[in-house]
Structure 1
Amino acid sequence: MDTNKAELDYDEVLPFLRVHKDGHIERLGDTDNVPPSFDPQTNVTSKDVLIIPDCNISARLYLPKLANSDQKLPLLVYFHGGGFYISSPFAHRYHSYITSLVSRANVAAVSVDYRLAPEHPVPIAYEDSWAALKWISSHIEGKGDETWLKNYVDFSKVFLAGDSAGANIAHNMAMLAGDPNGGLSVKILGVALIHPYFWGSETIGSEANDPEGKGKVDRLWPFVCPSAPNNDNPQVNPVGAGAPSLSRLACKKVLVCVAEKDILRDRGWLYYETLRKCGWNGDVEIIETEEEDHVFHLSNPTCEKANNLIKRLAAFLNHDSPTLL
Structure 2
Amino acid sequence: MEPHSNSSKSEVAFEWPSIIRVYKDGRVERFFETDVVPPSTDPETGVSCKDVTIPVAAAAAAPSKPSSHVVSARLFLPKLADSRKLPLLIYFHGGGFFVSSPFSAVYHNYLKAVVAEANVVAVSVNYGKAPEHPIPAAYEDSWAAIQWAASHRDGDGPEAWLNEHADFGRVFLSGESAGANIAHNMAMVAGKPERGLNIRLLGVALVHPYFWGSSPIGPEALHPDKRAELDWIWPFVCPSTPDSDEPWINPMADGAPRLAGLGCRRVLVCVAEKDLLRDRGRLYREVLGGSGWAGVAEMMETEGEGHAFHLYDLGGEKAKDLIRRLATFFNGDMSPLMS
Which residue pairs with 2:277 in the alignment? 264
Aligned-partner SS, 1:39 = coil
In structure 2, C-alpha distance between the alignment counterparts of 1:72 and 1:112, rounded to whole Å = 21
Aligned CA distance change for structure 1 residues 88 and 26 (closer, same or farther; 3 Å) = same
How many angstroms apart in 1 are the aligned matches of 2:187 and 2:51?
A: 24
Partner-residue secondary structure (3-state), 2:232: helix
Q: Does the alignment pair 1:61 with 2:85?
A: no
Tell me if 1:43 matches 2:50. Answer: no
* Match status 1:22 vs 2:21: no
Match of 1:147 in 2: 160
The whole-number CA distance in structure 1 between the counterparts of 2:281 and 2:10 is 37
Taking only the aligned residue pairs, the percentage that are identical comes to 57
- Find the counterpart in structure 2 of residue 169 from structure 1: 182
Q: Which residue of structure 1 lines up, in the alignment, with residue 235 of structure 2?
A: 222
Report how many aligned residue pairs link the two structures: 318
1:87-111 Cα shifts (integer Å, max 9, x gaps): 0000001000000100000010000
| TM-score normalised according to structure 1 size | 0.95
- 2:28 maps to a residue whose letter is I
Determine if contact 1:198/1:237 at 8 Å carries over to the other structure: yes
Matched, 1:307 2:320: yes
Q: 1:34-73: per-residue Cα shift (whole Å, max 9, x none)?
A: 01100011110000011134522111001111134x3100
Give the SS at the match of 2:164. helix
Residues 1:11 and 2:15 aligned together: yes
Which runs of no fewer than 5 residues in structure 1 stay unpaired?
none
- CA distance in 2 between counterparts of 1:208 and 1:66 reads 49
Contact 1:193/1:256 (<8 A) preserved: yes
User: For the Cα contact (< 8 Å) 1:52–1:131, is it kept in 2?
Assistant: no
- The answer as to 2:231 corresponding to 1:231 is no
Q: Partners of 1:156 and 1:250 in 2: how far apart?
A: 14
CA 1:272–1:3 in 2, change beyond 3 Å: closer, same or farther?
A: closer
3-state SS of 1:141 partner? coil
Other structure's SS at 2:98 match:
coil
- Aligned partner of 2:226 in structure 1 is 213
Rounded to whole Å, the distance in 1 between the matches of 2:40 and 2:144 is 25
Q: How does 1:52-91 map to 2 (within 5 A)?
A: 52-53=55-56, 54=67, 55-68=69-82, 70-91=83-104
| Aligned residue number for residue 31 of structure 1 | 34
Tell me which residue corresponds to 2:337: none
Question: Structure 2: where are the runs of 5+ without partners?
Answer: 1-5, 57-66, 335-339
For residue 51 of structure 1, what is the amino acid of its counterpart? I
| AA at the equivalent of 1:125 | A
- Tell whether the 8 Å contact from 1:246 to 1:280 is kept in structure 2 after alignment: yes
Structure 1 stretches of at least 4 aligned residues deviating more than 4 Å after TM superposition: 2-7
Distance in 2 between the 1:274 and 1:219 partners? 25
1:5 deviates by 5.1
Give the 5 Å matches for 1:110-149. 110-149=123-162
Give runs of aligned pairs for residues 95-114 of structure 1, distance below 5 A. Answer: 95-114=108-127
For the aligned residue pairs, the C-alpha RMSD in angstroms reads 1.5
Pair 1:297 & 2:301 matched: no
Alpha-carbon shift at residue 28 of structure 1 (Å): 1.1
Aligned to 1:195: 208
| Offset of residue 143 of structure 1 | 2.0
Q: Distance in 2 between matches of 1:242 and 1:251?
A: 22
Residues in 1 aligned to 2:10 and 2:300: alpha-carbon distance in whole angstroms: 43
For 1:294 and 1:3, the matched residues in 2 are separated by: 31
TM-score by length of 2: 0.91
Q: Using the TM superposition, name which of 294-303 and 236-245 deviates more.
A: 294-303
Q: Which amino acid aligns with 2:177?
A: S
Counterpart Cα distance in 1 of 2:14 and 2:244: 18
